[in-house]
Amino acid sequence: MSWTTLTPTSKGGTEMLQEGPEPKYAQLRDHIADISVPGKLIPSERDLMERFGVSRGTVRKAVDELVALGALKRVQGKGTFATEPRVESNLHLASFTQDMRRRGLVPSSRILELVIKPLGHEGGRALGLDPDSDAWHLRRIRIASGQPLALEEARYPAAAFPKLDSFDLGERSLYEVFATHYDTVIDTAEQTLWGEAADADLARLLEVPPMSPLLVFERVSSTRGRAIEYIRSYYLGERYQVHMSLTADNGTT
């Protein structure tokens, strides 16, 4: 979306919005969008009222519309911020590290857990293994250029990746480690996508308000026909979007 850049008239230190066919709240909305810096706090209601000589109702209507459009977000107890541009992903088989680097972002991770324990029933079904078999449980925050973007929870057969905890998975691509040290290249995957709202724990880890929208990806990845990765990723809906190219199966609508 593009925003109109306005040149308000000045009167006694106040930038007066011009009367015209466009309502004042719409003029103010466009001006707020124009001066907002992604990730930064916008001016307070009182500052906007005084600067543009408008009522509180006009300010709230302008801000409400920008929030509805996704250009602004309210953070309880902190104020209203301009949102960061979303990271867009085409659905393809690549690691998070590869995906972010391709977009000019700096990928990193904060490891919350990397331990061996029983695979569990969900992981067992996904990987076709005994639920009681040993598996690496990897839980980490995925970060793009310093901003939390997703929480990942993954399972890997421990027998396939001995001493996995000896690698620095905060900076290195896990898929790169698999290929370089275990002669294992992920070549196929099945993935499902749905939407959820962040519970209190997820919201805290991703530094967003509870009930923030999430895109959830569940993926089973394989190498040479053998499933070796079961992963569920929770991406921030306000910072991540997915692009898909679609074609008809049979040439009909």
HEC profile of 144-184 = ECCEEEEEEEEEEEHHHCCCHHHCCCCCCCHHHHHHHHHCC
Enter the tokens of residue 78.
Answer: 């902190």
Task: State which H helix or E strand residue 69 sits in.
Answer: helix 56-69
Residue 243 pLDDT: 62
| DSSP track, 12-52 | TTEEEPPPSSS-HHHHHHHHHHHH--TTSBPPPHHHHHHHH
- pLDDT band at residue 70 using 50, 70 and 90 as cut-offs: low
Does residue 63 have a pLDDT over 60? yes
- pLDDT band at residue 245 using 50, 70 and 90 as cut-offs: low
Terminal-residue alpha carbon distance, the chain: 30
Residue 77 pLDDT: 80
> By percentage, how much of the chain surpasses pLDDT 90?
33
Residue 5 pLDDT: 36
- pLDDT band at residue 85 using 50, 70 and 90 as cut-offs: low
Task: Kindly state the average pLDDT of the residues 128-146.
Answer: 93
SS3 120: coil
- Number of residues in the chain: 253
Nearest to 150 by CA among 83, 82, 92, 196: 196
SS3 175: helix
Residue 91 pLDDT: 43
> By percentage, how much of the chain surpasses pLDDT 70?
78
Task: Kindly state the average pLDDT of the residues 240-247.
Answer: 62
Enter the tokens of residue 80.
Answer: 């209203």
Q: Provide CB contacts within 8 A for 204, sequence distance 6+.
A: none
Rounded to the nearest integer, the mean pLDDT of the chain is 81
Whole-model pTM: value is 0.62
